Amino acid sequence: MKVCLLSWEFPPRIVGGIARHVFGLANALARNGDEVGVVTLDFPGAPDYEDIEGFKVYRSKTEIGHPNFLTWVFLFNHFLEKTLAAANREFNYDIIHIHDWLVAPAGIGFKHLLSKPMICTMHSTEHGRSSLHSPDTYMIDGMEWWACYEANGVIVTSNSMKGEICGHFHVPDGKVDVIPNGICPEKYEVKDDPWDTRRRFGVGDHEKMVLFVGRLVPQKGVEYLIRAVPRISGRFPQAKFVIVGEGWMRSHLEWLADKSGQRWRINFTGFISDQDLVALTKSADVLVVPSVYEPFGIVALEGMAAGVPVVASRVGGLAEILEHDKTGVFVYSRNPYSIAWGVERVLSDPGYKDWLVKNAHETVRKRFSWEAIARQTVDVYKKVLGDD
Partner 1 sequence: MNGYPSVSPSVRMPEEFRFLCMLHNVGATDPERSLSVQEIARWTDKEVPMIRDYLQKLQELGYVQPIISNETEKYHVSIMGIRKVLTLYS
Interface residues with partner 1 (CB under 8 A) are 9, 13-16, 18, 43-45, 62-69, 71-72, 102, 215-218, 223-224, 227, 245-249, 251-252, 256, 270-271, 332, 334-338
Smallest gap from Cβ 16 to partner 1, in A, equals: 4
Smallest gap from Cβ 222 to partner 1, in A, equals: 10
Smallest gap from Cβ 20 to partner 1, in A, equals: 12
State how far the Cα of 325 lies from the Cα of 54, in Å rounded to an integer: 40
Smallest gap from Cβ 331 to partner 1, in A, equals: 11
- Separation in Å, CA 298 to CA 20, 36, 182, 303: 9, 23, 8, 9
b/e 171-194 (16+ beta carbons within 10 angstroms → b): beeeebbebbbbbbbeebeeeeee
- Of 62 and 369, which has the nearer Cβ to partner 1? 62
Smallest gap from Cβ 381 to partner 1, in A, equals: 25
Smallest gap from Cβ 384 to partner 1, in A, equals: 26
State how far the Cα of 75 lies from the Cα of 52, in Å rounded to an integer: 27
State how far the Cα of 380 lies from the Cα of 388, in Å rounded to an integer: 9
Query: What order do you get walking across the sheet with 239-244 strand by strand?
Result: 266-270, 239-244, 208-213, 286-289, 310-313, 329-331
- Of 1 and 256, which has the nearer Cβ to partner 1? 256
- Separation in Å, CA 63 to CA 11, 72, 299, 386: 21, 11, 34, 38
Query: What order do you get walking across the sheet with 49-52 strand by strand?
Result: 49-52, 55-60, 35-41, 2-6, 95-99, 118-122, 153-156, 176-178
- Of 91 and 332, which has the nearer Cβ to partner 1? 332
- Of 95 and 222, which has the nearer Cβ to partner 1? 222
- Separation in Å, CA 324 to CA 312, 359, 360: 9, 11, 11
Q: Respond yes or no on whether the N-terminal peptide bond of residue 12 is cis (omega within 30° of 0).
A: yes
- Of 129 and 367, which has the nearer Cβ to partner 1? 129
Smallest gap from Cβ 371 to partner 1, in A, equals: 26
Give the closest residue to 10 by CA, choosing from 63, 69, 66, 52: 52
- Of 201 and 293, which has the nearer Cβ to partner 1? 293
- Of 175 and 252, which has the nearer Cβ to partner 1? 252
Smallest gap from Cβ 292 to partner 1, in A, equals: 8
Give Cα 234 distance to the centre of its chain.
Answer: 32
In this structure, the number of other CB atoms found within 10 A of the CB of residue 234 comes to 11
Smallest gap from Cβ 221 to partner 1, in A, equals: 9
- Of 68 and 92, which has the nearer Cβ to partner 1? 68
State how far the Cα of 255 lies from the Cα of 306, in Å rounded to an integer: 31
Smallest gap from Cβ 225 to partner 1, in A, equals: 12
- Of 217 and 357, which has the nearer Cβ to partner 1? 217
- Of 88 and 181, which has the nearer Cβ to partner 1? 181
b/e 62-83 (16+ beta carbons within 10 angstroms → b): beeeeeeeeeebebbbebbbeb
**Are 294 and 278 spatial neighbours (Cβ–Cβ below 8 Å)?**
no
